[in-house]
């Protein structure tokens, strides 16, 4: 099982105040134990750094430490030119989501985990929220 973790899942991991923090941490634990693999994109890391350090006004050094720990557990995929072109040709109005989905498909992910409900409208793979994924796995 190869999971694609959207940017909001990364933010859930980094910010304990977010409502999906525990579910996202559980998913990372599953990956760390080897029961699944997971993919984040470079774009997600960049976007999360902005939210963490600029919007939340938290330490960039702490962000980097956390990302280093996460990078030991998950794969990092770069948004490629092919992904950008796919997003440009996509019928979907959210360009960033279209690029993320193209990248996840190219990375071979078979499940997408996100809190963004729009993903369900145009994803090639099953889409779960962090909470619904944990409920599925542990039920």
3 in Cβ contact with 36 (< 8 Å): yes
130 token code pair:
């962090």
Q: Write down the CATH superfamily of domain 2-134.
A: 5'-nuclease (3.40.50.1010)
pTM of the model as a whole:
0.94
The pLDDT of residue 117 is 82
Q: At what angle do helices 60-71 and 7-14 cross, to 10 degrees?
A: 110
DSSP output for the chain: -EEEEPHHHHHHHH-TTSTTHHHHHHHHHHHHTTS-EEEEEHHHHHHHHHIIIIIS---HHHHHHHHHHHHTTSEEEPPPHHHHHHHHH-S-S-HHHHHHHHHHHHTT-SEEE-S-TTHHHH-SS-EE-HHHHHHHHT-
Residue 132 has pLDDT above 80, yes or no: yes
pLDDT digits (tens, 9 = 90+) for 4-36: 999 999 999 999 999 999 999 999 999 999 999
Least confident of 29-38, 40-49, 118-127: 118-127
Per-residue pLDDT tens digits for 55-110? 999 999 999 999 999 999 999 999 999 999 999 998 888 899 999 999 999 999 99
**Pairing between β-strand 37-41 and β-strand 2-5 as defined by DSSP bridges:** parallel
Domain ranges of the chain: 2-134
Confidence of residue 48 (pLDDT cuts 50, 70, 90): very high
């Amino acid at each position: 099982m190869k999971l694609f973790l959207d940017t909001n899942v990364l933010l859930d991991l980094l910010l304990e105040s977010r409502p999906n923090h525990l579910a996202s941490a559980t998913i990372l634990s599953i990956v760390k134990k080897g029961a699944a693999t997971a993919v984040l994109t470079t774009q997600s890391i960049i976007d999360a750094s902005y939210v963490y350090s600029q919007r939340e006004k938290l330490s960039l050094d702490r962000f980097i430490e956390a990302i280093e720990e996460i990078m030991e557990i998950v794969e990092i995929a770069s948004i490629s030119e092919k992904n950008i072109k796919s997003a440009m040709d996509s019928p979907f109005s959210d360009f960033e989501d279209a690029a993320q989905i193209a990248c996840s498909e190219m990375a071979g992910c078979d499940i997408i985990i996100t809190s963004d409900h729009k993903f369900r409208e145009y994803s090639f793979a099953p889409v779960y929220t962090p909470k619904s994924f944990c409920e599925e796995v542990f039920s």
